[in-house]
Amino acid sequence: MKAIHEHADFFVFDKPAGASFHSEDGAGYFSQLQAAYPQETLFPVHRLDKITSGLLLVARNKPAAQQLGELFAHRGIHKTYLALSDRKPSKKQGTVSGDMQRTRDGSWKLLRSRDNPAVTRFTSHSLAAELLLFVLQPQTGRTHQLRVMMKALGSPILGDTRYGGNAADRGYLHAACLHFEWQGEHIAVRCLPTTGTLFVAHSGAIIGLLDTAGNPHA
């Protein structure tokens, strides 16, 4: 659980896929982080779904937690995610936006209305027969936003059976890049996925596509 990026005010960790942020049957991932850094008082400023791996930002003091929370709220922290799907999208690139509504089973769905929409920019790229990489850049931060957006495109994420994806060895959603301005310093962190048969098998192509279509600042 060593941080992949350390700053006086925050850490960035690479959360593994399948780890719940908060406690379920055992200690959640954040509790494990706090236990691994007993000399620190850590503050969560955002979270990743259980199926999602990748970059997780954690504050090291209360003032930093408040400032980072404000950056997230005002879209000052820019994130790029990678997702795999085995189904072609209704469009290859662009923006998906719409209001989100919780369903009876606790999941979410995308609506046609745009009163307070979730917004995601994306590009899609063929990796192999019936396998596509999506480079996702959320402009808002709603619960399950990327998973719902992918379902709405007709390309549910592999391994995300909750939202219609086919079963796989993991949920193929990974937080790969983040960048933001912090007290006059530009922070840019990138972390490629290291687990998942398909992520690993196509790592070279993914790096090239991320360099071309992903976060130019990372």
The rounded distance, in Å, linking the Cα atoms of 69 and 64 is 8
Q: Which two tokens stand for residue 197?
A: 């048969």
Q: Which of 49, 86, 115, 211 is catalytic?
A: 49
In 10 A of CB 44, how many CB atoms?
Answer: 18
Does 49 qualify as catalytic in the annotation?
yes
Q: Which two tokens stand for residue 155?
A: 């390309």
The rounded distance, in Å, linking the Cα atoms of 31 and 35 is 6
- The position carrying tokens 């925050």 is 10
Strand-pair category, 53-59 with 173-182: parallel
Active-site positions?
A: 49
